[in-house]
Structure 1
Amino acid sequence: MPHPSHEKQKQRNAFFDNAKYLAIVLVAVAHAWEPVMDGSRTTRALYMVVYTFHMPAFVIVSGYFSRSFAGRPDQMRRLVSGVLVPYAVFEAAYSLLRRWAGGEPEHPLSLTDPFYLTWFLAALFVWRLTVPLWRALRHPLPVAVAVAAAASCAPGVGADLDLQRVLQFLPFFVLGLVLREEHVLLLRRPAVRAAAVPVVLVAVAVAYAVAPRLRLGWFFRTSAAQELDAPWWSGPVMTLALGGCALVLTAAFLAWVPERRLWCTALGAGSVCGYLLHGFPLKALEYGGAVEAYPVLASPAGRIALTAAAAAVVTLLCTGPVRRALRCVTEPRLAWAFRPAPPPAVPDPRPAGPAGAGRAPGAAPAPAAVSRR
């Protein structure tokens, strides 16, 4: 989910903006299904399919747009203003909502324990800081997969910064780093687009078959295998299995993302706002006991209505007016917090030659030889 301030409008890629908008709609819809999917095998199966690939797709795109990160001062300023500041603000906001509306006054306000949606910003901050390391490795993707597999069977991984999730989603970020434009173009081939439809149908059928038995915790990637009452070796196995499924479904999703500019293309630039804000109405419904008060929401018609409402709300939250209103939080300038950029170096106007050989540009000329007569 690259931050919109990092790309000039004229350089924006309609394909990726469309992909980000459609992905954030799937995120909001899946979150809306959570309180009403009990008792509906079909809804649970659709939820599992969406959860298999919607965040991996976001992470891959984030890695793809992080390929040039080298830790330069201007990049660090954008990382702080576009990722760290929104994380701190929304982590505090969601924690206060949980304390006041959620009836948990003892819930601590901690910036090291991400709550609900904010884990992604914490993870993105950590992942981007490690980009130079992954760019330096000869085979970064196998190393990242090994790290994720090791984390999936290590219950001792701490909860700080949701580290278990950071490590288990790491291969998708590294995959985005190693992708090139020609790899993305492969997804636009007619054969790939044709194969995407049966792939999704098979995925839904498989999810429907295993929905009553498969624990949802595997999809969240917040726990080690032992914490899901499974043997340790199932962690690496599920890392590879779910990772493979995520890649196939992400490819199928991207194959059908339109390349041309549409009415929703501009909304992709505001996907960060849609992501960070859509949790507030959903949490308000949860804390207010809406499903218990209105059981019709858990009916087939109610689920359809919630799906449409979630898509409409997150679309509204991605619009330009919302993005501009939140710019002070999601795109703060923070000029007061950083040193001004140094002026560009002035090239040495003197011609290169024997007189200037052997000394650094800008150095004073050597003193003339003194006669000893």
Structure 2
Amino acid sequence: MTNSLRPYGHRRAPLPPAQSPADGVPSPRAPQSTQNKQNGKQRDAFFDNAKYLAIVLVAMGHAWEPLKGDSRILEAVYQVVYAFHMPAFIIISGFFSRSFDMRPDRLKRLITGVAVPYVVFETAYPLFKRLIADDPHQDISLLDPWYLTWFLCALFIWRLTTPVWKLVRHPLPIALGLAMVASAAPEIGDDLDLQRVLQFLPFFVLGLSMKPEHFHRVRTRSVRIASVPVFAVALAVSWWAVPRMNTAWFYHRDAAQELGAPWWTGPVMVLALFGCSLVLTACFFAWVPRRAMWFTALGAGTLYGYLLHGFLVKAGDYRGWFEHPVLHHPAGEVAVTLLAAVAVTLLCTKPVQRVFRFAMEPKMEWAFKRDAAELARERQTAERREREKVSV
């Protein structure tokens, strides 16, 4: 219907402007942070720096895993890193999910940016093992997240439940309660890696509940100074605990009974590790640069680095690269650490993003209906242009 069929002077009220999807919500502007534009959106250098540094620690941790059994010091460092690197990443994910609702464009972004990569890599990893490890019996199952894909599965579930956490009055205590119950319930099983989904849930809900000023409070000189002895104590305690504690507690993927502990230790460990993780995460955030650095732009490609570096680590595992005697000495461990950092850095770069965007960020316009509001905006724009031509 054109405007000529309406009474003179009658105009439809303009529709609200289109908003960016949940993943692209502009980050809070810190007083001392540098803002840079990517894809037309304001980005806060602090959050991009934090995501990049966290993903580098993730890659290092995966590279240490085959080597840590020979070194108590490396095992201690491994435990400290695992106490905060994924919690930090999940808190940031929760923070940037605050505006998520069931709006069609945001659901579309959730499907194309999380669900589709999950299906692609949940299929690719087992096929990769069949090829590299010559294991024709490796099954493909979308219900049993394999290696790194658990995070995509968890993020999909967490984000879908975001409106619920924004509705309830005390979201964090409820999330902690669910995590504690899960840690004592081995009956949950392995489907969709629900143990991890529930045990890491409090960090996502905490991110949803945070405000920009909460990040500002830990980015002070006093917190940076205090973080040095805190990390030193954490390393000392971790070194002491290496022969006394099962490292699998830091993975949050098993109930207490599955780790050979009585059921009541599950809820206790959930609370204890949650507290430790928050302290170490705050110390980590305190040392994240607030200004633009050479690696800041790589923060936008951390999902690429996260999912792709798994192929390198698994190839080394399947081919026996980590069994070389040289790598089981301090110099070899340092070399593996640096190699992991360089590799994941390269995998976060723009050329890699362009190559793998078809799997990570497919547009898939063919799969979705056009949003009625978007169609109305296009119609309104066309009508306005037609009126401008007539007036001329």
Same fold (TM over 0.5): yes
Once the two structures are superposed, the pairs formed by residues 7-156 of structure 1 within 5 Å of their partners are: 9=38, 10-156=41-187
Q: CA deviation at 1:98?
A: 1.9
Q: Is the 8 A contact 1:291 1:297 kept in 2?
A: yes
Equivalent AA in structure 2 for residue 326 of structure 1: F
Shift in alpha-carbon separation, 1:4–1:278, aligned structure 2, 3 A: farther
Q: Deviations over 1:116-144 (max 9, x none)?
A: 00100000000000000000000000000
Q: Calculate the aligned-residue CA RMSD, in Å.
A: 1.5
Residue 322 (structure 1) aligned with residue 370 (structure 2): no
Which residue of the other structure, out of 216, 219, 232, is the alignment partner of 2:247?
216
Q: Distance in 2 between matches of 1:262 and 1:152?
A: 40
Residue 310 (structure 1) aligned with residue 340 (structure 2): yes
Unaligned runs of 5+ in 2: 1-20, 27-36, 378-392
Residue 290 (structure 1) aligned with residue 311 (structure 2): no
Unaligned runs of 5+ in 1: 347-373
Q: Is the 8 A contact 1:3 1:272 kept in 2?
A: no
Q: Deviations over 1:46-69 (max 9, x none)?
A: 000000010111110000000000
Q: Is the 8 A contact 1:3 1:82 kept in 2?
A: no
Q: CA deviation at 1:343?
A: 3.6
Worse overlay, 136-145 or 7-16: 7-16
Number of residues paired by the alignment? 344
Residue 341 (structure 1) aligned with residue 371 (structure 2): yes
Residue 271 (structure 1) aligned with residue 302 (structure 2): yes
Identity %: 60
Q: CA deviation at 1:4?
A: 6.8
Shift in alpha-carbon separation, 1:249–1:62, aligned structure 2, 3 A: same
Residue 186 of structure 1 aligns with which residue?
Answer: 217
Q: Is the 8 A contact 2:22 2:100 kept in 1?
A: no
Q: Deviations over 1:18-40 (max 9, x none)?
A: 00000000000010001111120
Q: Distance in 2 between matches of 1:244 and 1:299?
A: 33
Residue 162 of structure 1 aligns with which residue?
Answer: 193
Residue 301 (structure 1) aligned with residue 345 (structure 2): no
Q: Is the 8 A contact 2:90 2:203 kept in 1?
A: yes
Q: Is the 8 A contact 1:48 1:216 kept in 2?
A: yes
Q: Is the 8 A contact 1:18 1:257 kept in 2?
A: yes
Q: CA deviation at 1:102?
A: 2.6
Q: Deviations over 1:58-91 (max 9, x none)?
A: 1100000000001110000000000001111111
Q: Distance in 1 between matches of 2:119 and 2:133?
A: 20
Equivalent AA in structure 2 for residue 318 of structure 1: C
Q: Distance in 2 between matches of 1:150 and 1:5?
A: 33
Worse overlay, 283-292 or 257-266: 283-292
Equivalent AA in structure 2 for residue 310 of structure 1: A
After the TM superposition, list the runs of 4 or more consecutive aligned residues in structure 1 that deviate by more than 4 angstroms: 2-8
User: Normalising by the residue count of structure 2, what TM-score does the alignment of the two structures yield?
Assistant: 0.85
Equivalent AA in structure 1 for residue 120 of structure 2: V
Which residue of the other structure, out of 175, 182, 207, is the alignment partner of 2:238?
207
SS in 2 for 1:12: strand
Residue 361 of structure 2 aligns with which residue?
Answer: 331
User: Normalising by the residue count of structure 1, what TM-score does the alignment of the two structures yield?
Assistant: 0.90
Q: Deviations over 1:239-278 (max 9, x none)?
A: 0011100000000000110110010000101101000100
Equivalent AA in structure 1 for residue 293 of structure 2: L
Q: Distance in 1 between matches of 2:210 and 2:354?
A: 32
Q: Distance in 2 between matches of 1:304 and 1:73?
A: 47
Shift in alpha-carbon separation, 1:161–1:133, aligned structure 2, 3 A: same
Q: CA deviation at 1:5?
A: 6.3
Q: Distance in 2 between matches of 1:283 and 1:5?
A: 31
Q: Distance in 2 between matches of 1:281 and 1:3?
A: 31
